[in-house]
Amino acid sequence: MGINALRRQLAKPATSIQLCLLGIVGGCCAAGLIIAFRLSYEEIQLLFINQIDDFRSLEDWQRIALPVGGALLIITFASTTGFKHYRMGVPFVIHRIKTYYGKIPFRTTLNQFFGGILALGGGFAVGREGPSVHLGAAGSSFLGQWLRLPSNSIRTLAGCGIAAGISASFNTPFAAVIFVMEVVLREYKIHVFIPVMLAAACGSFLTRLVFGETHELSFIEFVPLSNWIYFYLVPCGMLLGGLATLFNRQLMQIIHWSQAISAPRRILLAGMITGAIGFFLPEAMGAGLAPLDDIFSTNSSIGFLSLILIAKITLTLCALGLGIPGGVIGPVFCIGIISGVLLLAPLEFLSSDAMQYSDSFALLGMAGLLTSVAHAPLAALSAVMELSYSPDVILPAMLVVVPAYVTSTQLLKNQSIFILQLKYQGLSYTLSPIRESLQKVGVLSVLTPEFKLIEETANQHILNHLEQSDQTPLIVSRQYEIDTHYLLATPNDKNKNGFDLKYIQGISSQATMAEVFEELKHQRSGAVYIYDDAQHNIIGMISWDMLRSYLFNDENN
């Protein structure tokens, strides 16, 4: 199949072998980028510590110097690329997916790659899923842009890259697919679901080749709960919903307050706060899950766990609120795990065997908090199921996830942290139903190649073409000194004075029917011509009647 035939096939909103193969290739590209990213920041950490994310082995002065030094390097790199290209992470990707078909600017990708490496290597309490989503979308969408594929397929490829990126980060392919559909794309379409699933599988496969079969929560094993404990899970979920609401609102408060401070000073302040708290409580640094194993295995006291929880929340809010590049889900995993263990404490007064459920409550706390912070109940449920390797977690997780979500959204009017950030930044993330539907269809699948292109000469010359064309429209080129305009003439435009020429706009062959609609919606008539590579290389046209006919047929189907 030639490249032009491939583009025409991908312009259709349908499952195809070609799209699946591209999803695999895009997923491998994204996974490779994430693996390089992960290896890079881990190598930086291993220059100072013996085990990944175990900042307790640092000297006292190193726990201050590492995040401050990381902040200074982030500032230096961002200054080089320009702070106007500093928008990144999950909210920015959602915006680009909805309004720019997942096409990610190159400079923001550079900032995310190197800034994320420095942030995670420097011990900041940020997650690697933020860079994974951004880099995954960029790596896969760059492939689509290089091949000049239709924009609707580039957006699908961006979703494939995100799924591969998350899967490569946490080794949770199913949760990655659900996260893409539930949080990023915010829709479930089978022609998108299949390639995204293949890309997530590729991400997980490549991760296992490099990092092995295990994941960071392998030290947690779900223990089936006694029946009487199920009644306690509902209030636990409600408390987690309240904690998530407090977390989201405080993060937005810090973001709002810090806008009066310049970006370099904000980042440096985050480094100083991380160093100060890390000096006294290194267990709160970073967002890795492995160090929690040592904390739980030593049967830490409730007071010590509470102190770590407060410190972890503080460091996460300061890092993300002050502009450190990173994600929120990694820290939410840590905060949720600790919160779940603390919620188990009251049961010790009722049963001496309650502590055997600490691992189970750790998983349930993670599910409840992630649900309420990101408004992703299905992603949270699938994540704990994959991380625990136990189907027994599903029922108790549901009893935590549902009250957590309802408490957060209905009782406390909390919104997803990603939506809150998008609203604050003024980035659009919703589309009208008609535009959202038309964005799924490339112009290559609708255009008609039935036209004649002629140069403007005498009126009689054009009339002769119209009479001989048997209803075939004419596109007439009108040459100016520095530009060429194109006008449309059809047999129906003939009148007693000759004919009417209507100026028509050109649209790239990569565009979707949404761009055609935006061009023609005001006059609700006329047409656009479709060009490939350059404006003069016209390959077809789409009229308002063709657009309207497509919409009606789509609704009937």
Q: Which helix (H) or strand (E) holds 529?
A: strand 527-531
pLDDT of 21 reads 92
Q: Tell me the torsion sign for CA atoms 354, 359, 362, 367.
A: negative
Across the range 97-111, mean pLDDT stands at 89
- SS3 assignment, position 81: helix
pLDDT band at 454 (very low <50, low <70, confident <90, very high): confident
Structure confidence by residue, pLDDT tens digits, 199-217: 999 999 998 898 887 777 7
Burial of residue 487 (CB within 10 Å: 0-12, 13-18, 19+) is middle
Structure confidence by residue, pLDDT tens digits, 531-557: 988 878 888 888 888 888 887 775 444
| CB-side neighbour CA atoms (13 Å) of 114 | 17
| CB-side neighbour CA atoms (13 Å) of 466 | 21
Best CA proximity match to 176, nearest among 372, 31, 288: 31
The pair of three-digit structure tokens given for residue 339, joined into one six-digit string: 């919160």
pLDDT band at 151 (very low <50, low <70, confident <90, very high): very high
Say how many C-beta atoms besides its own lie within 10 A of residue 475's C-beta.
19
Across the range 518-523, mean pLDDT stands at 86
pLDDT band at 82 (very low <50, low <70, confident <90, very high): confident
Go through 151-160 and write b for each residue having 16 or more CB atoms within 10 A of its CB, e for each that does not: bbbbbbbbbb
Q: Where are the domains of the chain?
A: 20-212, 228-248+274-425, 443-556
Q: Which of 264-268, 318-322, 497-501 is predicted with the least confidence, judged by mean pLDDT?
A: 497-501
pLDDT band at 135 (very low <50, low <70, confident <90, very high): very high
Say how many C-beta atoms besides its own lie within 10 A of residue 305's C-beta.
18
- Which CATH class, in words, describes the domain spanning 443-556? alpha beta
- Which CATH class, in words, describes the domain spanning 20-212? mainly alpha
CA distance 106 to 139: 10
Scanning 259-297, the segments in alpha helix (DSSP H) are 263-280, 291-297
Written as one letter, the residue type at 276 is A
pLDDT band at 492 (very low <50, low <70, confident <90, very high): low
pLDDT of 336 reads 94
Q: Please answer whether residues 485 and 478 qualify as being in contact, where contact means their C-beta atoms are separated by less than 8 angstroms.
A: yes
DSSP conformation class of 225 = P
Those residues whose C-beta lies under 8 Å from the C-beta of residue 467, and which sit 6 or more positions away, are 491
CA 545 distance to own-chain centroid: 36
Measure Cα distances from 331 to 125, 247, 344 in Å: 6, 11, 20
CA distance 116 to 127: 9
pLDDT of 205 reads 92
CA distance 171 to 204: 5
Across the range 150-177, mean pLDDT stands at 91
Across the range 411-426, mean pLDDT stands at 92
Q: Does the pLDDT at position 457 exceed 80? A: no
The pair of three-digit structure tokens given for residue 455, joined into one six-digit string: 């140069």
Across the range 58-80, mean pLDDT stands at 91
- SS3 assignment, position 451: coil
Same fold for the pair 228-248+274-425 and 443-556: no
Structure confidence by residue, pLDDT tens digits, 324-358: 998 999 999 999 999 999 999 888 877 777 788 88
Structure confidence by residue, pLDDT tens digits, 224-268: 888 889 999 999 999 999 999 999 999 999 999 998 899 899 999
Q: Tell me the torsion sign for CA atoms 202, 208, 211, 213.
A: positive
pLDDT of 545 reads 85
Q: What is the largest CA-CA distance in the chain?
A: 99
pLDDT of 80 reads 83
pLDDT of 557 reads 45
Helix 230-258, helix 358-374: angle, nearest 10: 50
Name the CATH superfamily, with its identifier, for domain 228-248+274-425: Clc chloride channel (1.10.3080.10)
Q: Does the pLDDT at position 496 exceed 50? A: no
β-pairing verdict for 527-531 and 538-543: antiparallel
Structure confidence by residue, pLDDT tens digits, 18-45: 999 999 999 999 999 999 999 999 999 8
pLDDT of 86 reads 66
pLDDT of 372 reads 95
Structure confidence by residue, pLDDT tens digits, 263-305: 899 999 999 999 999 999 988 898 877 777 777 666 778 888 8
Best CA proximity match to 441, nearest among 540, 521, 515, 518: 515
- Most confident stretch, 294-308, 309-323, 429-443, 459-473: 309-323
The pair of three-digit structure tokens given for residue 485, joined into one six-digit string: 């305009």
